[in-house]
Amino acid sequence: DLNVFAAYDGQVGIEWKGNNEPNLKGYFIYRSINKPDRFKQTAFTINNYFIDDSLYYDSTYYYKVSAVSRIGKESPLTTSVSAKPKNIYAPPAPYRLNINARNWTNSVGIKLFWNPSADSDVKGYEIYRGTTPGFGTDSVHYLDFTPNIFYFDTKQIQLLTDYFYKIKAVDKGGLKSPATS
């Protein structure tokens, strides 16, 4: 009774009818990406469901499950189910953007760091910079992209100039969060 109960926003959820044997240790999850016949063990769970996250939208994921006893005996694999996650929701914005300006001899820069977006399919962050607080997040103010939750801005920094920053999270499907304040 293996089936898919969810396939969106970088996640696939599968569930099955639980095994009631008293010596059950749990379940091995097997996955194959884009090929219905190349399964590798990817996880272990004691639940009768599994949520696979951080997935890509251009891939189809195939799953099989086996039961495992306390002494390590494994049942035959279930028939497979498959799903291709849909990108439905934009990620939430990162938060607590912090800025630390540095002025070293022959090196001027501004270090940015923030708390990550609370989404499992974030690819990275777009960084925008302006010289007024209410600047827009458009191509004129676009500075860079980073997969990290920090960035060191050294691009044409002028001394005695106020800089303002906004960050947007971008998921693996290209949807963007609202900008930080």
Look at the chain and count its residues: 181
pLDDT (0 to 100) of residue 160: 86
Query: pLDDT tens digit string along 69-120?
Result: 999 999 999 999 999 999 989 999 999 999 988 777 677 899 999 999 988 8
Model confidence at 127, pLDDT cuts 50, 70, 90, reads: very high
SS3 content of the chain, % helix, strand, coil (to 5): 0, 50, 50
Query: pLDDT tens digit string along 1-26?
Result: 999 999 998 899 999 998 888 999 99
pTM, to two decimals: 0.77
- 16/38 Cα distance (integer angstroms): 21
Model confidence at 66, pLDDT cuts 50, 70, 90, reads: very high
